Homo-oligomer: A and B are copies of this chain.
């Protein structure tokens, strides 16, 4: 589940220059608008070196965000199985990551996301390109509903992370995971698959 294993290739200064250029490019141009070629130019290196150090543009984004998880691995894992239990499963999986050593990096990401307009924009690009898009690819949702459903899920899970791991409001902060799965799972299930009258004009 944790992304980095083994030795990181390359000169640390060059890596940092690439990661800095990548953060700026992703925040300013968005994930789709930012190119490896442009990032390499800003960092003063050859595009092939960026690929050599980081692999794909997705992997570069994960490295730039210090993401403790790789959504391309985690999301299909969390969403596999009985669709009627997707809510419970997602909460259980989410808590499993946050309660693990990766949770510390999660808190750091959340702190950074909230710290300024610029970092919020970068985090939004991350959520949209790495999380929401992958969820939509795995879960069969009507295209016109998918984005709203997934952003409602994001709102409850982000708030759960805030309340449990950052603000630490009791008894939520110390509750056993299964208690929160029982409480919040049905919320997520409804956001993903439930009827949401009043949310869409034609529903």
Contacts and interface: CB of A to CB of B under 8 A. Distances in A.
A157 B175 CA distance: 19
Contacts of A199: 179, 182-183
B154 A156 contact: no
Task: Give the oligomeric copy count.
Answer: 2
Nearest to A160: B155
Contacts of A148: 171-172, 175, 183
Contacts of A139: none
A112 B114 CA distance: 9
Given A120-B166, A163-B151, A175-B148, A156 B187 contact: yes
Contacts of A83: none
Contact of A154 (B169, B181, B186): B169
A45 interface: no
A26 to B, nearest CB: 14
Query: Contact residue range for chain A?
Result: 35 or more
A111 to B, nearest CB: 5
Contacts of A151: 163, 169-172
A111 B179 CA distance: 29
Given A164-B155, A166-B120, A187-B190, A198 B178 contact: yes
Contact of A198 (B114, B115, B132, B182): B182
A179 B111 CA distance: 29
Nearest to A188: B187
Interface stretch (A4-12, A60-68, A71-79, A122-130): A122-130
Contacts of A198: 178-179, 181-183
A147 interface: yes
Interface of A: 110-111, 113-115, 120, 123-124, 127-128, 132, 147-148, 151-152, 154-160, 162-164, 166-172, 175, 178-179, 181-184, 186-187, 190-191, 196-199
